[in-house]
Homo-oligomer: A and B are copies of this chain.
């Protein structure tokens, strides 16, 4: 064999660093949007896949195109019903575009609205995948602080005024109003009305990401911003990743047809995977409504285990508000803890966390914060993982102090 060809001189400028080789999942995995394998409605999904493939599987030979490029029609019909029932949204199947996960939804909405140098408004603490996409697109990001009720409307009003003074019209206000990521807050109806009023006054549309909205402990949610809008100025996206299973990669966009038509023209993937769409429609029509309370009951128990473990092992060193739903907890550690450093040290001990600075555009505010996903690990793994994390944190930063009072193999210094 000759010397191996060197591709390096051919790589364009600005590529991200190469990925590292996958070496297995960490023992205690508190990261990502992973869900609870035990709560996956497996029997129902297997039966649905069998039934729908036997009945309609031959359409797979034609890209599932009997339903057109917007996605499997029975799934869009299910969404029309479900979004009406749960979120108050009135739309037609023509106003829905099924996507390969809500990540593709983010890409398509950004693709038809953003150019380098544009400005967008987002929640200061925000989903990493959304922040990274905007950064890569070269967009100016204005972050709005949150409180226990989600985005602070006074701060939003101030930011819009400030942009107006500078002659800048933001391309959208991006919000995760219903179980915010990472804070777990729900924006109350009154704030939604105020946000819509500000959006209309400034001519800025709202980009509503409701991907966690099915997972609410008391199943009470305000209407979607899309439902409350009087001027069709809201693009709404959602997902089956959190309610059914993330590996299905099925999300959706609800928007006026004129915008769906724009997004279709840049969706050059020959359609999103048809088997998952068919399987989901077949399962969800009869079973979705009953599945959700079962799932959230299980998730809520895991949240309790996580909060108990944090109280036990971190004591007052871990501060958090009880999220209204979802699969993660946003935790504040003492100011001297740098969670990016903690992340590296914990990973060596087999514990994976999401460090705050990756989930926020305010690096000072998020420096000592972390996001813990509690859906995927078992109750025992949650307890053991948090105990291990407390030991690492103590060793690195001296907090929680209490650990040093307890004799532990390998703990303390």
Q: Please, which residues of chain B bring their CB within 8 A of the CB of A59?
A: 37, 247
Indicate which residue in B61, B115, B231 contacts A4 across the interface (CB closer than 8 Å): B231
- Chain B residue numbers with a CB within 8 Å of A18 are 258, 261-262, 264-265
In which size bucket is the chain A interface?
35 or more
Q: Mark A197-218, 1 if CB is under 8 A from B, else 0.
A: 0001000010000000000000
Interface SS of chain A? loop
- Give residues of chain A (80-135) contacting chain B, Cβ–Cβ below 8 Å: 94, 100-101, 103-104, 112-115, 118, 129, 132-133
Q: Report how far A144 CA is from B51 CA in the complex, Å.
A: 48
Does A275 sit within 8 A of B, measured CB to CB? yes
Known: A21-B261, A49-B275. A10 touches B69 (CB 8 A): no
Check if B132 sits within 8 Å of A268, measured CB to CB: yes
Q: Which of B7, B61, B101 contacts A246 (CB 8 A)?
A: B61
Interface-lining segment among A38-46, A179-187, A303-311, A330-338: A38-46
Let me know if A261 and B20 touch, CB within 8 A: yes
A343 to chain B, nearest CB (A): 18
**Of the residues B2, B42, B61, B258, contact of A7 by C-beta under 8 Å:** B258
B33, B256, B264, B276: the one within 8 Å of A275 (CB): B276
Q: Does A249 lie at the interface of the complex (its beta carbon under 8 Å from any beta carbon of B)?
A: yes
A193 beta carbon closer than 8 Å to chain B: no
Give 20 A-B contacts (CB < 8 Å), ordered by A residue: A1-B231, A11-B113, A13-B115, A15-B262, A15-B266, A19-B261, A20-B261, A34-B61, A40-B61, A45-B57, A49-B53, A59-B247, A61-B247, A63-B246, A104-B269, A247-B271, A248-B275, A249-B269, A249-B270, A249-B273
